């Protein structure tokens, strides 16, 4: 057998057939025809038994295979490129078509207020803390100096999960957590979050609302610090000339306790519908942290003192934007939210 001639013929035949087509399927068939296990070139290997110079035969076999294979691969590559180009031309996107119009959203005023309050207090060096919305009696009441059967619990008639677990009725519960974790070290935090109480659902009441709690504990903290802090907050939140007034009040976890009023930012104290003619608007509760609360959380009240406050977020938002119904915040009525597109971003 003249295997050299045989290889030569086979190679010319294969190369010729391959050169004639660009079609990927046809090229694949040719690969099978020549190079697969039972392909014509592969089958040549059966003849190695018949020749003497097996080494030369083997070399020629490999060379032939390689040449055919690389030519074939090149054609396959070209074929794929051609196919891709054809597809790209076919799938060309018409960028002149008008797109879908997306309406630009607007931040809910409730969250705008939270962001604003956070910015103001972070600017004063406060950190932002969070706590659980479902919490143990211990944190919502006990550690805040509201023992079992204390009438102060009635002020926050509460939504219980079981005897010991409830939806927090105020963010003051976060104070108890933060103090527990601080292990006697100074604290300066605010905590914005949702709170829940069984309540009427009307224009000014909701069973769900939100507060920002503030807590500062350190040596030499006094009521003057609290007043200065809240005044600065009110001036940044409402207007530069806002004044703050304290009225004595009661909270079990603060002593003394105060209700905090701000001078009416609308009429500047003259009396209008927003301040109901009084010139003052009540916005939050506050006080000096009660010595019992400090003691229960591992602070020596002879060494440490602190203040705490709780701001109603909806209340502040309603005042600031002239919203008259608290339920608007929860009704998901887009018409309400869209009104705030008109509010100038500052
Ligand atoms: N926790 C009080 C409330 O929900 C508000 C408050 C917070 C008062 C901190 C004093 C100090 O009514």
pLDDT digits (tens, 9 = 90+) for 261-301: 999 988 988 999 888 899 999 999 999 999 999 999 999 99
pLDDT band at 309 (very low <50, low <70, confident <90, very high): very high
Give the residue, out of 140, 252, 310, 315, with the most ligand 1 atoms within 8 A of its beta carbon, to mutate for a pocket test. 310
Name beta bridge partners: 289: 254
pLDDT band at 157 (very low <50, low <70, confident <90, very high): confident
Q: What is the pLDDT of residue 106?
A: 85
The mean pLDDT value for 178-206 works out to 93
Atom number, ligand 1, closest to the C-alpha of residue 175: 9
> Could you tell me if the CB of 287 is within 6 A of ligand 1?
yes
Q: What is the pLDDT of residue 343?
A: 61
Contact criterion met (CB below 8 Å) for 336 and 328: yes
pLDDT at residue 23 greater than cutoff 70: yes
State the first-to-last Cα distance of the chain, in angstroms, to the nearest integer: 94
Q: What is the pLDDT of residue 273?
A: 87
pTM over 0.85: no
Q: Give the strands of the sheet with 305-312, arranged side by side.
A: 127-128, 187-196, 208-218, 305-312, 280-289, 254-263, 244-251
Ligand 1 atom 7: residue of nearest CA: 310
pLDDT at residue 104 greater than cutoff 90: no
Q: Is 42 helix (H, G, I), strand (E, B) or coil?
A: helix
pLDDT at residue 339 greater than cutoff 90: no
Measured distance CA(103)–CA(101) in Å, rounded:
6
Measured distance CA(315)–CA(317) in Å, rounded:
5
Q: Which of 61-65, 93-97, 111-115, 313-317 is the least confident region?
A: 93-97
Residue for token pair 């089958």: 43
- Ligand 1 midpoint to CA 285 (Å): 5
pLDDT at residue 345 greater than cutoff 70: no
- Ligand 1 midpoint to CA 128 (Å): 17
**Structure-block tokens of residue 243:** 């004044």
Q: What is the pLDDT of residue 197?
A: 92
Give the residue, out of 211, 229, 306, 316, with the most ligand 1 atoms within 8 A of its beta carbon, to mutate for a pocket test. 211
pLDDT tens for 43-74 read 999 999 999 999 999 999 999 999 999 999 99
Provide the 10 A C-beta neighbour count for residue 152: 15
**Structure-block tokens of residue 115:** 């962001």
> Could you tell me if the CB of 251 is within 6 A of ligand 1?
yes
Name beta bridge partners: 188: 216
pLDDT at residue 346 greater than cutoff 70: no
Q: What is the pLDDT of residue 153?
A: 87
Q: Where would I find the beta strands (DSSP E) of 170-323?
A: 187-196, 208-218, 244-251, 254-263, 280-289, 305-312
- Ligand 1 midpoint to CA 175 (Å): 11
Residue (of 277, 218, 295, 282) closest to 249 by Cα position:
282
> Could you tell me if the CB of 307 is within 6 A of ligand 1?
no
The mean pLDDT value for 162-183 works out to 95
Residue (of 293, 288, 18) closest to 175 by Cα position:
293
Dihedral sign, CA of 174, 177, 180, 182?
negative
> Could you tell me if the CB of 170 is within 6 A of ligand 1?
yes
> Could you tell me if the CB of 145 is within 6 A of ligand 1?
no
- Ligand 1 midpoint to CA 284 (Å): 8
């Amino acid at each position: 057998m003249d295997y050299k001639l045989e290889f030569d013929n086979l190679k010319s035949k294969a190369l010729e057939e391959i050169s004639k087509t660009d079609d990927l399927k046809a090229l694949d068939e040719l690969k099978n025809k020549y190079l697969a296990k039972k392909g014509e070139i592969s089958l040549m290997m059966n003849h190695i038994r018949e020749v003497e110079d097996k080494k030369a035969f083997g070399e020629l076999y490999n060379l032939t295979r390689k040449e055919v294979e690389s030519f074939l691969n090149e054609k396959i590559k070209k074929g794929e490129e051609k196919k891709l180009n054809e597809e790209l031309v076919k799938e060309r996107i018409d960028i002149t078509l008008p797109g879908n119009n997306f309406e630009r959203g607007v931040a809910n005023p409730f969250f705008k207020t939270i962001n604003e309050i956070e910015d103001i207090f972070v600017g004063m060096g406060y950190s932002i803390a969070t706590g659980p919305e479902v919490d143990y009696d211990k944190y919502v009441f006990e550690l805040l100096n509201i023992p079992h059967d204390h009438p102060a619990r009635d002020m926050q008639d509460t939504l219980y999960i079981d005897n010991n677990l409830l939806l927090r009725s105020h963010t003051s519960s976060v104070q108890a957590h933060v103090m527990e974790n601080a292990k006697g070290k100074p604290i300066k935090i605010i905590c914005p979050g949702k709170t829940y109480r069984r309540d009427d659902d009307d224009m000014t009441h909701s069973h769900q609302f939100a507060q920002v709690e503030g807590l500062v504990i350190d040596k030499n903290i006094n009521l003057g610090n609290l007043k200065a802090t809240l005044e600065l907050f009110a001036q940044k939140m409402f207007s530069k000339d806002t004044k703050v007034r304290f009225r004595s009040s009661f909270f079990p976890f603060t002593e003394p306790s105060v209700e905090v009023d701000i001078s009416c930012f609308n009429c500047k104290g003259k009396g209008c519908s927003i301040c109901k003619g009084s010139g003052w608007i009540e916005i939050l509760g506050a006080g000096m942290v009660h010595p019992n609360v400090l003691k229960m959380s591992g602070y020596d009240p002879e060494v440490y003192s602190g203040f705490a406050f709780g701001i109603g977020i909806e209340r502040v938002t309603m005042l600031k934007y002239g919203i008259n119904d608290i339920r608007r915040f929860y009704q998901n009525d887009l018409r309400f939210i869209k009104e705030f597109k008109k509010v100038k971003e500052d």
